[in-house]
Chain A
Amino acid sequence: GEDVEQSLFLSVREGDSSVINCTYTDSSSTYLYWYKQEPGAGLQLLTYIFSNMDMKQDQRLTVLLNKKDKHLSLRIADTQTGDSAIYFCAERSNTGNQFYFGTGTSLTVIP
């Protein structure tokens, strides 16, 4: 399958910005996603970006896409303790329509 890479852990102070990074390999992917997983729960979609965009903003969330470098990032402004969770980046294959997920980044917000 395709490789989607993320760093495993990130720790930030409440009120600071968090930036979670992701790299992917499938250059044909037209949609890239960010999911959030809270303890004991399934994954929930936070936002997604179409590959012909380089930025998408949704309230405290900003997604940046560098298609040339196959790099995706999620910035959370004014990070709150409720943002503590695991964040997954994912791409949807154009060929088979399956979703490939990264390893997940565990975000810890320190009060």
Chain B
Amino acid sequence: DAGVIQSPRHEVTEMGQEVTLRCKPISGHDYLFWYRQTMMRGLELLIYFNNNVPIDDSGMPEDRFSAKMPNASFSTLKIQPSEPRDSAVYFCASSLDAGGTEAFFGQGTRLTVV
């Protein structure tokens, strides 16, 4: 397996524009996590899915953020409208449903909102 695949790797957009980040988890993994990493806040869990169902979205900062997982091999994180304070690295990770297994991370999407 190629691991968790995120696209794009870098995104620069203007304030007010819609941004869509994409993630393909490792095949067979039951859990998918979206994290945001900033210098100020470190690594924050935004939302996670189990078997394509959102379990906890309490980390999503505002209504401008939404995430979907239409099937087991694809998830999106959308920001609409984007703001400069959304600039961060967004990571997607996936995991099996078993206590000892780790979360496998994608390479991240570096988002810059100008």
- Residues on A lying within 8 angstroms of B by beta carbon are 1, 30-31, 33, 35, 41-45, 48, 50, 88, 90, 92, 94, 96-104
CA A44 – CA B106 in complex, angstroms? 9
Residues in B with CB closer than 8 Å to A1 are 45, 58-59
Q: Mark B64-90, 1 if CB is under 8 A from A, else 0.
A: 000000000000000000000000000
CA A100 – CA B58 in complex, angstroms? 13
Q: Are A98 and B33 within 8 A (Cβ)? A: yes
Q: Are B100 and A48 within 8 A (Cβ)? A: yes
Which single member of B42, B97, B108 contacts A101 (CB below 8 Å)? B42
A51 — nearest CB in chain B belongs to which residue?
B99
Q: Are B45 and A97 within 8 A (Cβ)? A: no
CA A94 – CA B98 in complex, angstroms? 10
Q: Are A99 and B56 within 8 A (Cβ)? A: no
CA A19 – CA B50 in complex, angstroms? 35
Residues in A with CB closer than 8 Å to B35 are 101
Instruction: Knowing A1-B45, A97-B50 are in contact, say whether A42-B105 is a contact too (CB < 8 A).
Output: yes
Residues in A with CB closer than 8 Å to B103 are 43, 45, 90, 99
Enumerate 22 A-B pairs (CB-CB under 8 Å) in ascending A order: A1-B45, A1-B59, A30-B99, A41-B108, A42-B91, A42-B105, A43-B43, A43-B103, A45-B102, A45-B103, A45-B104, A88-B43, A90-B103, A92-B99, A97-B31, A97-B95, A98-B56, A99-B33, A99-B45, A100-B45, A101-B35, A104-B42
CA A102 – CA B35 in complex, angstroms? 13
Residues in A with CB closer than 8 Å to B106 are 42
Residues in B with CB closer than 8 Å to A94 are 99
Residues in A with CB closer than 8 Å to B108 are 41-42
Residues in B with CB closer than 8 Å to A104 are 42-43
B96 — nearest CB in chain A belongs to which residue?
A97
CB distance from B39 to the nearest CB of A (A): 10
Instruction: Knowing A31-B100, A98-B33 are in contact, say whether A43-B42 is a contact too (CB < 8 A).
Output: no
Q: Are A97 and B102 within 8 A (Cβ)? A: no
CA A31 – CA B96 in complex, angstroms? 14
